[in-house]
Structure 1
């Protein structure tokens, strides 16, 4: 039986370590960081036969990609999924209840024990099937060492007064032994409630996915479910049925209440971390058929019993030669055969360890089990009897700063079997290559067209520190890299997957002295596009873009489309996020889908020597606006807030979060597991979207879909309005107001008016909205979703989205000077093709259309600018018009990228031309 461990993603600007353990029958994923979904697409690895997800932490670093991947797996018809993680996993999953729902896949959550079962020599696995047995090790910081951690002026955590004495960790585990916690649902009533929420998110679990659970906690859970179901039958859910975006049935009343505050039940109140020991199957030795024949063992059950480890006794007839009369003499003989006589020695089970050590303070707790536990110490042993029992093939070390070079940790690594391969992921020692090389390669091409609008992503192939400079490491140390494959059986050293390596066209080209060369056809289109832009600029006297910037309000405002896809990411488009940079005032982020932090980091880089880097952008971020609760619009917020929390020195201005209650509630629940800086000085300030509605209602609606849905003190309408006024003052805004639009859940567009005379309207996700037209006339820019083609108008209406033609019609009706189309369906992962039909002069339209012209990739020259958004497009408002002239060149570049990468076919409808008729 062959199996392997593959690095799906490693530590980079846009990913964290994710490792896939694969057998022919099933796959298992360890950690689900942001962009895990997209990493599958980039690597062309599939998620078929995925059976289990394992998290080392219930945190934004290790689990931010969980909701998106769960829904993807369900849509991929995976029949059932186990999710295993440390205490807090159920709280993390339950906090996702507003935006994660699939009724086709049962999901079974299991929390790992928070303490080791000393002195047991045979602990229970947290997961077990025919392929693997997974054992967990709880990892916590030593109290004494944690107290010694100080924050330096540079913002890095340093240790003082450290000691090799591991007694604090021993005391830590000794205290934990008395807790008697298990991985079942018996923790307490709060965890029962969280389990009920998860059942609501994945109701297929009720139809057969649930394990039999007759424990005390299991009975409580069932009783709670029955109670809440009865309440629903009595109409108790009527007032809370306003979140019906997925047509869920039987929402329990507690669905809309804030979850009970998470309590780890551990002596040290810190986020739990789990490390894992993955034990593969023991492969029996080869059956010696020749010897079996010699011994006279008959085919059938007796041979089967030998292979199953049983001794057998049987009778054979033995020839003794010929007697005096020439007859063959025979006798009956009873024989007993033991398995070891006929079957070769079995291969010891291959073992893979995945260790997550956030800081040096966690080192004692990971060492301790391998010293004190009779079971775990066998995995870190060179004794012959232990090596015959288990073969540790690889240890994946996910290490925070200062861990790898720590003398204690180096000694710990050296204690493993000499043939063990150590794969290390550490921010100091790993380089920062681009993860999504397909998009980056095309961006590199487009930089030849316009390096300001299409900048090359930031990356580094040189780590901060060289791991070879660390003395005392064991042999066989490898830096973790994406697409690194380690064969466990048959055993082999880690190697980069050749197919994935060949798909990377970005790094070889950008690292070569020759640079990038464009195909002749693409080069010709590039030159033609640049020529047209130059000609058009001359027509309006814009030889110098600074001239127009000085003349037009808002011309120097930058709009950076970080994510332009809808629902789920693809190789070329991430999910929704748009950054507005207002010179001298600050930045606004419109929606923040999964992976937004990575997109920001790739766009601006981390070089502190440059005036503008991602940390400066984050420092200047004054507002995050989230239009609605669908995950592709807000899953990235928690990660971004976590990064802001780590910023040193602390931000000097607050960050205003403008959104609906469901998103605010989710982040508050998340902050129980890790500090997101919500309540810090200059932390996150709450602004409720309905409080700043453009009609300025005196109070919130008290019924129907637009009701707020809660009564927490922070929902106070006047408090939100006061906070909004302060936000406008910081950003130089005249007003920031929301507009109710129609979608599958409550959703708001936004109207942003600046004192300098420019305005931006953001549609959110919506069908064509008359309200949006009424709320804003003659905006400088309309940023509107354009999810589908005009021939998909019926499907667009069903999914509550707009077609590209409908978006343009809204822009015309509100007299928008510039229209930016974004949020494209996955049917258009590269570039949405369209023909734009516009009227010439003042002649009226005829049935034959004689007065109209069709211009492919064009825009209506009589009715302002229409631009199509691309990931990482960086446009000043004054330069948006250029994108239209670039479209033929951009299309050629995308198509050439596809050809060179050898993609197999296209998605249905991907090559459809989006015919846009602006004459209606």
Structure 2
């Protein structure tokens, strides 16, 4: 038995993803942002995933792979294969600064012409064939001749400058590729040769001359050398073996003579609490900070043909006995496919005692991004060959279609060539609606909107995904019958059956709640708690003199409030600060941030302050540090900004450290993020002085911190803006801004309780501080270099902050943090807790303390979080 499940469709916060499930394995086709959260929401789990297949290398198709790989490793997966178009290997290698799991082995295979006839992937369940389609101008596509896409021919060696000391200082990472510790702790091992993963011969990197490291510049590699270097990077990101514990690395150590460096454990401390800065990893590649070899931007897509393994016919004991055989070991051999000899000496082959083999089901997954790809697709002979292939039955075709494809007669005519017995499932955002992707948090938001619709506004969506198709049937009359792709749509492949939708319980409850009275989804105690909270707010407002305090109209939207990994109710870190009349500042942007923005503000351009308006109004993005949960959604935001029409007429300032800038530059070679033009992205280092561009070749402008911050201050009306180095496992910066109108804001990033933050942001109007752990977990918080609730509040008190907003909660508290342990002493400081998609007007944040009990009651009225692995 096996089936194809639609995990998601094209919506504001998701892209089409298909999961094939067998008893012994799962296979995921496309892994956009939010896939990990989808698997949790839909209770599909991570275990048994053997392969991930991408149809394109862009944020829509692969944006969720880094997060999914880490979740797979954490769930116990030991090996995974990634397949996709050219550029997939480069994409994975570009994530080396933040995607690392030593227990997982990852193999990357890029599709070639050979994979149309020979499987790109094969195991006991399936054979997967890859068919590459392209535009007529592939190879001379727009942007392919840009400097960042150009492969520089080898000439005189260029020595990349070292990372400045200011950037390396106290770089404390749990990454096996980059970390800092005391020089006295290192103990270099002898140099060891190694080759790219899966290679049976020495790599070109290995066979370089002895003085190679002195001028080692991997960005100059081409051809096999470039591929070998990328594979080597990936093999060190995912070595697939548990390392020895407590290994130290000194990033300042001169190690260019060794391609990999292993350091001995530090045993000098007797502290029973592990030092969060004495990191416990093992393998280091000293040249990992250097840029990857250039990769040309491709305009191609990979489609897949999935054929289930042949199913032998059922063994017929009656037929076997007719040849004089007796039940027992001989029957077992025949059923296993082995020949036996009858008593009369005749050789009995398995087929003589078996029913006819069952035809295997075949599935196509077609990605046609635009009408320019149609000719390449329809002229391919590989799909034609599987129409009536002996022993196989083409049962279903998934069509992932870009703008204009479905209306094009060429595509419709091609669909009809497969006959009336084939089931067509179409994902077409233009007519597919915009249903809710994550019903559990949407239901929670609906419930809380009945408490305060200003702080908890309803998410933007279109209830019926089939509405657009029904309205457009006249335009599609000449097409074969097809189904609109939806989440939790199941196509049974063995036994073969028509598509059906199997909605999860939360989806049904949410849909019913939209038209039901409040009492049907809010129990009496919750309604009573709501009314008490509202009454408390009304009483506080009665007779209160309204004062025009600075910053009262500033709006803070907490888009993502989880730490480390998404949960059912919380996405990873991201906070939007909207300053009326000046624009917006985004504080961190983990995976799925664009989807959170789109759900909160809506994609409909006819409504005021839609997500495109917000994106156009975005002036600055601040990335506190290089852990993936704080920035893996930035590339998608930059990609969407690049699509704005007309283009934005002023730059977007992005404050982030070297590794953030480096991976975005490398990824921009695959997808246009807008890193070149004057009104595109301008990088600013959070360090006192930023690294300057290495060569005057037209790459992204980089400003000194002071010069860049001056530009941001001018644009956003700020009197002061500076970064504050805080205490985390890797180099991390908090942020302090003071507006010219008098209000100020401090952001902690991830940190232990930090005196530097207190001193650098004294008197802040609002402090946004991480509160990963609950009170009573101080040792765990210290080990992970985070803060407890009360520690965060204490920082705010010592700072003199007027309001303290706590966020970045551990997955241990999936709904409501244990707020009753906080703030037991009377305080003049207002306290608020962050929830996904809440929006706080600074002047109204005092209301949250009145709402705590009601919010807790609301979350207590729904089923507990269930973790599915």
TM over 0.5: yes
Q: Can you list the C-alpha shifts for 1:380-402, whole angstroms capped at 9, x where unaligned? A: 34xxxx3x421111111111111
Change in CA separation of 1:484 and 1:753 when aligned onto 2, cut-off 3 Å: same
The alignment partner of 2:284 has SS state of coil
Q: Can you list the C-alpha shifts for 1:250-295, whole angstroms capped at 9, x where unaligned? A: 32222000111113xxxxx524321111110111122222222223
- Report how far residue 200 of structure 1 moved: 1.6
The alignment partner of 1:686 has SS state of strand
CA distance in 1, matches of 2:495, 2:640: 41
Choose which of 414, 417, 420 in structure 1 pairs with 2:416. Answer: 414
Report if aligned partners of 1:728, 1:735 keep a CA contact under 8 Å in 2. Answer: yes
Question: 1:809 matched to which residue of 2?
Answer: 794
The alignment partner of 2:687 has SS state of helix
CA distance in 1, matches of 2:822, 2:5: 50
Q: Can you list the C-alpha shifts for 1:803-822, whole angstroms capped at 9, x where unaligned? A: 11110111001100111000
- Report how far residue 247 of structure 1 moved: 4.4
CA distance in 2, matches of 1:56, 1:621: 31
- Report how far residue 339 of structure 1 moved: 5.0
Question: 2:658 matched to which residue of 1?
Answer: 661
Choose which of 285, 298, 323 in structure 2 pairs with 1:270. Answer: 298
Matches within 5 A, 1:59-458: 59-113=58-112, 115=113, 123-143=117-137, 188-204=224-240, 230-232=258-260, 247-263=280-296, 270-299=298-327, 303=331, 307=335, 314-316=342-344, 335=346, 339-370=350-381, 373=382, 376-381=383-388, 386=389, 388-458=390-460
Change in CA separation of 1:821 and 1:336 when aligned onto 2, cut-off 3 Å: closer
Q: Can you list the C-alpha shifts for 1:25-76, whole angstroms capped at 9, x where unaligned? A: 1111111110000001111111111111111112111111111111111111
CA distance in 2, matches of 1:258, 1:90: 14
Question: 1:742 matched to which residue of 2?
Answer: 727
CA distance in 2, matches of 1:308, 1:474: 45
1:683 aligns with 2:680: yes
Q: Can you list the C-alpha shifts for 1:475-532, whole angstroms capped at 9, x where unaligned? A: 441111111111100011111225x156532122114588965211000000000000
- Report how far residue 470 of structure 1 moved: 3.9
Unmatched tracts of structure 1, length 5 or more = 150-182, 208-226, 236-242, 264-268, 317-333, 542-546, 692-698, 701-707, 839-853, 908-920
Report if aligned partners of 2:790, 2:822 keep a CA contact under 8 Å in 1. Answer: no
CA distance in 1, matches of 2:22, 2:69: 21
Matches within 5 A, 1:893-904: 893-898=858-863
CA distance in 1, matches of 2:262, 2:846: 58
Report if aligned partners of 2:682, 2:702 keep a CA contact under 8 Å in 1. Answer: no
- Report how far residue 639 of structure 1 moved: 0.5
The alignment partner of 1:14 has SS state of coil
Question: 2:775 matched to which residue of 1?
Answer: 790
The alignment partner of 1:771 has SS state of helix
Question: 2:183 matched to which residue of 1?
Answer: none
Report if aligned partners of 1:108, 1:205 keep a CA contact under 8 Å in 2. Answer: no
CA distance in 2, matches of 1:142, 1:444: 48
- Report how far residue 736 of structure 1 moved: 1.5
Report if aligned partners of 2:6, 2:16 keep a CA contact under 8 Å in 1. Answer: yes
CA distance in 2, matches of 1:764, 1:144: 43
Q: Can you list the C-alpha shifts for 1:824-863, whole angstroms capped at 9, x where unaligned? A: 000011010222576xxxxxxxxxxxxxxx5xxxx84x42
Q: Can you list the C-alpha shifts for 1:189-225, whole angstroms capped at 9, x where unaligned? A: 0111111111121122699xxxxxxxxxxxxxxxxxx
Report if aligned partners of 2:138, 2:299 keep a CA contact under 8 Å in 1. Answer: no
Report if aligned partners of 1:563, 1:872 keep a CA contact under 8 Å in 2. Answer: yes
Question: 1:179 matched to which residue of 2?
Answer: none
Choose which of 476, 499, 524 in structure 2 pairs with 1:471. Answer: 476
Change in CA separation of 1:656 and 1:352 when aligned onto 2, cut-off 3 Å: same
1:758 aligns with 2:758: no
1:834 aligns with 2:799: no
Question: 1:530 matched to which residue of 2?
Answer: 534
Question: 1:167 matched to which residue of 2?
Answer: none
Choose which of 742, 766, 770 in structure 2 pairs with 1:781. Answer: 766
Report if aligned partners of 2:594, 2:633 keep a CA contact under 8 Å in 1. Answer: yes
CA distance in 2, matches of 1:228, 1:85: 33
CA distance in 1, matches of 2:230, 2:138: 33
Normalising by structure 1, report the TM-score. Answer: 0.79
Choose which of 701, 712, 732 in structure 1 pairs with 2:717. Answer: 732
1:38 aligns with 2:37: yes
The alignment partner of 1:256 has SS state of coil
Question: 2:630 matched to which residue of 1?
Answer: 633
- Report how far residue 680 of structure 1 moved: 2.6
The alignment partner of 2:735 has SS state of strand
Q: Can you list the C-alpha shifts for 1:675-727, whole angstroms capped at 9, x where unaligned? A: 11111341001111113xxxxxxx57xxxxxxx79967789986443232122
Question: In terms of mean alpha carbon deviation, does 28-37 or 196-205 score higher?
Answer: 196-205
The alignment partner of 1:283 has SS state of coil
The alignment partner of 1:203 has SS state of coil
CA distance in 2, matches of 1:647, 1:12: 18
1:868 aligns with 2:836: no
- Report how far residue 418 of structure 1 moved: 2.4
Change in CA separation of 1:184 and 1:273 when aligned onto 2, cut-off 3 Å: farther
Q: Can you list the C-alpha shifts for 1:139-189, whole angstroms capped at 9, x where unaligned? A: 21123999899xxxxxxxxxxxxxxxxxxxxxxxxxxxxxxxxx9899510
Report if aligned partners of 1:116, 1:137 keep a CA contact under 8 Å in 2. Answer: no
State the number of aligned residues: 767
Question: 2:149 matched to which residue of 1?
Answer: none
CA distance in 2, matches of 1:595, 1:735: 30
Change in CA separation of 1:616 and 1:233 when aligned onto 2, cut-off 3 Å: closer
CA distance in 1, matches of 2:510, 2:711: 45
Question: 1:615 matched to which residue of 2?
Answer: 612
- Report how far residue 615 of structure 1 moved: 0.5
Whichever of the two has the greater Rg, that structure is: 1
Question: 1:881 matched to which residue of 2?
Answer: 846
The alignment partner of 2:730 has SS state of coil
Normalising by structure 2, report the TM-score. Answer: 0.83
Question: 1:569 matched to which residue of 2?
Answer: 566
CA distance in 1, matches of 2:552, 2:679: 30
Report if aligned partners of 2:93, 2:233 keep a CA contact under 8 Å in 1. Answer: yes
Q: Can you list the C-alpha shifts for 1:434-470, whole angstroms capped at 9, x where unaligned? A: 1111111111111111110000100003455545334
Change in CA separation of 1:274 and 1:716 when aligned onto 2, cut-off 3 Å: closer
Report if aligned partners of 2:262, 2:282 keep a CA contact under 8 Å in 1. Answer: no
CA distance in 2, matches of 1:507, 1:307: 50
Q: Can you list the C-alpha shifts for 1:1-43, whole angstroms capped at 9, x where unaligned? A: x111111111111111111111111111111110000001111
Change in CA separation of 1:481 and 1:716 when aligned onto 2, cut-off 3 Å: closer
Report if aligned partners of 2:46, 2:71 keep a CA contact under 8 Å in 1. Answer: no
The alignment partner of 2:124 has SS state of coil
CA distance in 2, matches of 1:776, 1:365: 59
Report if aligned partners of 2:81, 2:107 keep a CA contact under 8 Å in 1. Answer: yes
CA distance in 1, matches of 2:750, 2:675: 27
- Report how far residue 234 of structure 1 moved: 11
Q: Can you list the C-alpha shifts for 1:280-324, whole angstroms capped at 9, x where unaligned? A: 0111122222222223234466556655667766444xxxxxxxx
Report if aligned partners of 1:510, 1:516 keep a CA contact under 8 Å in 2. Answer: no
CA distance in 2, matches of 1:724, 1:735: 9
CA distance in 2, matches of 1:353, 1:13: 25
CA distance in 1, matches of 2:702, 2:391: 65
CA distance in 1, matches of 2:511, 2:66: 31
Report if aligned partners of 1:37, 1:69 keep a CA contact under 8 Å in 2. Answer: yes
Name which structure has the greater RCO, CA cutoff 8 Å, separation 6+: 2
Change in CA separation of 1:787 and 1:312 when aligned onto 2, cut-off 3 Å: closer
